Structure 1
Amino acid sequence: MTTPRHVQARVAPAPVPPEADRWRRTHICGVPVDVLTMEETLVAASELIESGRPHQHVAINAAKVVAARRDPRLRQIIESCALANADGQSIVWASRLLRPRLPERVAGIDFMLRMWEVAADRGYRVYLLGAKPSTVQKAADAARAQGVTVVGARSGYWTPAEEPAVVAEVAGSRPDLLFVGLPTPRKEEFLHRHLDGLRTPLAVGVGGSFDVVAGEVTRAPRWMQRTGLEWVHRMRQEPRRLVRRYAEGNLKFVAMVARDATNRLRRGSRRPGRPRRAAR
């Protein structure tokens, strides 16, 4: 078994993680996404943990691309993340037009569950932060049932004045893996702001994944996940909160992809072609 990461020395984070140079990164509408399969992502994540330096992971979907295009600060934060996976199937589809092709979707909740398996196998210490108190405790119980060493679980409700204490609590638990169940852009900004202070080798934003693991929200059937219709299932469960978000966000994303694809074709058509052979 690999030596647990928490017994190794902690080192301050580098502005640009050198480990990220080991895999290919592309951009979808100006937002970075790593060209990795799930299995490759698990290997990359383990390498980041073993390196000892704090790193941030981000899951990219259509809504986040739209938000990042609108918010330069969020886009900069995403650029600084050591790992950026295609959380949404729409991102994979867009890559077929914008190139290079992404090999597959790496959904945030699936990545979290697979990393729990890795943590149980390698002895990594895990902290869960976010969601309601009862929800995060249920998620922690689910992780423990899989053999994960959960060193802390805290809800996502705190005031700005309480934030330093939250960071200190996480750091004091010395986790190897931190999963943060907060909405965008709050989780990205929180992790970027406190990445050094959290003293965690890999911090992963997982959105509403705790709600699913806790059994409070159901996940879409496999066929809906494969066909990119998982958002329809989510919208049915929370129509008041999600109908407008998905209706506007998806349309904007499609328009952005279409515009970028058109610009790409235009740039390609302007390239000088090979000289034609003279007619004989």
Structure 2
Amino acid sequence: MTDTLPPRLLFGLEVDPVTLPEVVAMAEEAISTRRRLLIGVVNAAKVAKLKADQVLRDSLLECDVLLADGQSVVWASRILRRPLPERVTGIDLFESLLALADRQRLRVYLLGATPAVLSRVEQEIATRYPGAVVAGSCDGYYRPEEAAWVALAIAGAHPDMLFLGMTTPRKEIFLARYGDQLDVPVLHGVGGSFDVLAGVTRRAPLAWQRHGLEWAYRVLQEPRRLWRRYLVTNSAFLVLVAAELLHPRRAYPRPLRPGTPHHHRRAS
């Protein structure tokens, strides 16, 4: 795997100090060697939930590479003197991996969202990334008893990359139960990126993104639903940064799953 700096220990997690091109290079190498690269992202909301939410915590610890999706995490890393080079958002990585698939005619599988959104995503990929091969897709509204069939369909499609547009904990439960059976090198939980690519959700303007204000842009779009959530989350995150300054949290132990390879991670 591509040589990178050791992970930074932040809030008990080993976050990789990598740039977007470096992650794409990791994915390209994983595909060429058919070695698993499970990609995870962390932001202020996830940091605030870490201690109480074991499913979320274990899912992040299980990842082969863990990225700072939120600008607040990058800022915190610098305050804590364990700096990360940049923010790597789920949507930017999703689009960069689709561009890689376009260049190399790689096979991708899409799992999640509504049938209508999924159809729009496939149309956008065909238009913007014509070299990418959509090996298959399944919306996120299958019944629990159909999960095994979904896993078989993914494995049978032989994709190089699997993009999961599902919420926590459904995504984590699916990967924990069926991940070893899928034989997919690159697995990336893209969150709401399907909605963004389909044009259902608008991203904040670049100026807002640069200043770490995408959360505020989302609140402006849905104030009644989101203002309280972000107030609580952002306040909790600030408290956790202060606590980390005074008493850095030791690394959470990674869950061990026999037979699943991980690249070596050493926090600094």
TM-score scaled by structure 1?
A: 0.83
Q: Give the alignment partner of residue 75 of structure 2, picking from 74, 93, 102.
A: 93
Structure label with greater radius of gyration: 1
Contact 2:109–2:154 (Cα < 8 Å) also in 1: yes
Match of 2:245 in 1: 261
RMSD: 1.7
Q: Is 1:214 paired with 2:198?
A: yes
The answer on whether the counterparts of 1:56 and 1:192 sit within 8 Å (CA) in structure 2 is: no
Give the deviation of 1:36 after TM superposition. 0.2
**Residue number among 26, 34, 37 corresponding to 1:55 in the alignment:** 37
SS in 2 for 1:96: helix
1:243 aligns to what?
A: 227
Of the two structures, which has the highest relative contact order with CA contacts closer than 8 Å and spacing of 6 or more?
A: 2
Length, aligned pairs only: 246
1:106-130: per-residue Cα shift (whole Å, max 9, x none)?
0110000011111111121001111
Q: Where does 1:1-280 land on structure 2 (aligned, <5 Å)?
A: 19=1, 22-145=4-127, 146-147=129-130, 148-263=132-247
| Contact in 1 for aligned 2:48/2:233 (Cα 8 Å) | yes
Structure 2 residue matching 1:129: 3-state secondary structure: strand
- CA deviation profile, 1:60-108 (whole Å, cap 9, x unmatched): 1111122222223432321221111111101100101223200001011
Contact 2:8–2:83 under 8 Å retained in 1 = no
CA distance in 2, matches of 1:58, 1:193: 17
Tell me the distance in 1 between the aligned counterparts of 2:201 and 2:107: 26
Q: Which runs of 5+ in 1 are unaligned?
A: 1-18, 265-280
Indicate if the aligned counterparts of 1:49 and 1:201 stay in contact, CA closer than 8 A: yes
* Paired position in structure 2 for 1:278: none
- TM-score, scaled to structure 2: 0.86
In 2, Cα distance between equivalents of 1:73 and 1:217: 27
Between the aligned partners of 1:218 and 1:253, the Cα distance in structure 2 is 25
Unaligned runs of 5+ in 2: 249-268
Tell me the CA shift for residue 191 of structure 1. Answer: 2.1
Query: For residues 10 and 98 of structure 2, what CA distance do their matches in structure 1 show?
Result: 29
